Structure 1
C-alpha cells in the first residue's frame, strides 16, 4: 500500500510550528517528513530517505561543532552528493566544513564551493536570495521542468545547481532561465542527466 504524502506534509508543517523545530532534531524530523515530496522526484523514495538522513547528520555535526559555521554554510544533498556553498570567515573554516561534510554515513562526494568572506558578502546576500527565488519560480511554473529534482544555491551571483535532469533538453532549459536573470555572474552545474543528448 503506497504511503500517503498528506500525513507527512502535515508532520512537516507541525514541526515548523513547534518550539525547537529549528534545532538539529527538529530539522531531522522535518527532513524526514519531506521525504514524501522527494519520493515523487526522479531519484525515488529510498534515495530521498538516504539524502534526508545525510542532511540530518550534517545539521547535527555542524550545530554541535561550530554555531557560526552552522549559520554560514549551506548544503544541498542529492544522491549522496553534498554541495557546500556560502561564505566562511577563514580558510581554516572552509577546511573544517569540508571535513564535517564527509562524516555522515552515505556521503559519496563533497563538492566544495565555499568562499572565504570578503567585505561585499553581506551586500551580495540579498541579491543572491533574489536570484535563487527568481530561478525557483521559473522552474516551478515551467511544466516541462521537474523542479522537485533540483537544489539551487546562489553565492556572490554564481548559481550552483545540483540534482537530476530527466533529459539534456530540460537542463538546457534551466540554463536559459539562469542566463536571463539579472546580476547572475556564473552558472555551475552538478546535475546528473538521465537521458543525455544523442
Structure 2
C-alpha cells in the first residue's frame, strides 16, 4: 500500500491526495475521485507496475464537468505549485525513486542528471519498451520540463 501511494506521489498526472489506496494479498483497491477517465486509467497503470501488486480494482469515480473542485483537489493543486518549484537535485531523486518503484524499469542501470528541469537518462536497458517506459515515468515527475532519453538498448 505504501509503495503504491508513494509511486502515485511522484506522478503529476494523478492525484495522490484524492486517491485512497487499500491493499490485501497483492490486490490493490483504489477509491476516490479522478478528474477524467485518462487519469483513472493512468492511476491503475502506475499501481499495477509496483512490485508485489498482482491486481488492481479501480473503484475511483470520474468527476463531472462543471462540478465544484473538492477540498482534496484544491490541496493537490496547491501542493503541485509548491512541488513544481523544486530544485534539480530533488527532481533527480524523484526520478530515481520513481524508476526504483516500477518493476519494469531499472534505477540501478539508469543514470539520471537534471539541469534546469531537463532530465537526461543514461545507461542500459534490456528492451526498447524499458527505455521508453523510463522516459515516460521521468517525464511524469513533478518539476520535469523535458526528458533526454539516451539510454542504450542492449539485447542479451
With structure 1 as the length reference, what TM-score do the two structures score? Answer: 0.34
Higher relative contact order (CA 8 A, sep 6+): 2
Bigger helix fraction: 1
With structure 2 as the length reference, what TM-score do the two structures score? Answer: 0.42
